[in-house]
Amino acid sequence: MTEVWSVEPELVVPRVEKWVDKSAILKAIEDKRATQAPPSYSPQQSSGVPQVPQAPQADLLSASAVPADSSSLAASVPIDAPAMVTRYPSISTRKLSNALKILTSNKCMVAISDYDEFHKMAKRCLLTNVLGGNAQKRHRIHRDTMMENISTKFHAHIKDNPLQLVNFRKIFESELFAVSMKQAVGKVVESIYVKELRTTLSKDEIFKILVRDIMEGAIEVDWRDFFPYLRWVPNKGVEMKIQRLCTRRQAVMDALISEAKSRIALGQELNCYVDYLLSEVKSLTEQQISMLLWEPIIETSDATLVTTEWAMYELAKDPMRQDRLFQDIQSVCGSNKFTEENIAQVPYLGGVFHETLRKYSPAPIVPLRFAHEDTEIGGYFIPARSEIAINIYGCNMDKKQWENPEEWKPERFLDGQNDPADLYKTMAFGAGKRVCAGSLQASLIACTAIGRLVQEFKWNLRDGEEESVDTVGYTTHKLHPLRAIIRLRPN
């Protein structure tokens, strides 16, 4: 029988390959304490590797039940950074669910692909043309336009419906998608005819097919993920549902690429990602071009929204902290509009951003990784063919690392103990060679939006909004969109 390993400091517990409840795990732990841990897995016998301090048992248990082909390790503070950085070469292979395998066209994405030549080439293209520092300078106009559009829409809401709640997500999501389309295909596509679907799709329908449907499909449960030895058994219902999502996405991407080719043929200079992929990267297949072009669309449209919406929710819930941020912005900007150049001048804004990443990490669990060779992480010997699950949420809720972790407290990043510039502290953007390629863009958009919206409007929650803190989907969206009461601030 295949064994699956869960790690507790100074203890390694074998369990059978299935999902078990916490009481069963606790019983296994108590039984194992009566015996000596396997010598080859003892931290004391791993020379040159730091000891692992006692980790919270609750975090361990919450992350330990992971479907596996062979072995499984739940990684938490303080072994998350070594897993992502120092031991990265040994665990660089991704392990995906059946749904994600189909949705990513078998890892044909920078964020999901294994660390190989394709990954290096694709990431280089993405950074050079969309998400890197120089690319972000070129695309600055798109972000500035986005902020003006968002501000205009909120002002229009106050003018037309001053007593009604504003749907933050509806406005922000639409403008984020517009930015992603400009970067990918050179313009905002308001509508497009899709031959395979025999219909003309609106911008909202394009967004649904390219973003929302895929994010919902990513969490589709396939029972075969939990019983790998039964993977040969058909599960047509799930397979057909996921394949339908992929077919519709591919049809829309084909239409967008075809439309871009037509503009290029007319001599138009697109200055966007699709132009580069079509003209400069000759080794890519049509499927690879489609997937690489789709990736920045979904990543720009989703993860940045998560962080910004949660930050505005917390600020609207806490008038005192919102007022502190407003006063700091006023002391820097005065009557001038808040811009990207002002981000570094308002340290409290950095605290708001990083504290939101800590409490509401967009990806609470790092996608499973596969140890393709024997290695050591945090003082533990990890045999080849183990699966590594890194519990970001557990790390950021560890009471030994964070004081009162359940509290949203931006000040914790201003006390000198936590540097807002240290992205490794919350691990929200990953670390090492697989650090999130879009971290710069996400920071610029989220911080500028938060600063500008607090500068221009006073935010308050509707009654009962405090209780709506559930999450849904592959990333940690609020279960319900943020609906707030906004008022203009005095000039």
Domain ranges of the chain: 3-488
C-alpha–C-alpha distance, residues 378 and 387, integer Å? 15
Summarize pLDDT for 353-374 with one digit per residue, the tens: 999 999 998 888 777 777 778 8
pTM: 0.81
Residue type, 222: D
- The vertex-72 CA angle with 66 and 76, nearest 5°, equals 85
137-181 pLDDT per residue, tens: 999 999 999 999 999 999 999 999 988 999 999 999 999 999 999
Annotated binding site for heme: 436
- Residue 183 in this model has a pLDDT that exceeds 90: yes
When the pLDDT of each residue in the chain is averaged and rounded to a whole number, the result is 80
Token look-up 């205009």 returns 152
Annotated binding site: 436
Q: Which pLDDT value is given to residue 359?
A: 92
For residue 264 the two structure tokens come to 């290029």
* In contact, 242 and 99? CB cutoff 8 Å: yes
CATH code of 3-488, in short, is 1.10.630.10
| pLDDT tens per residue across span 13-47 | 333 333 334 444 444 444 544 443 433 333 333 33
CA of residue 71 relative to chain centroid, distance: 26
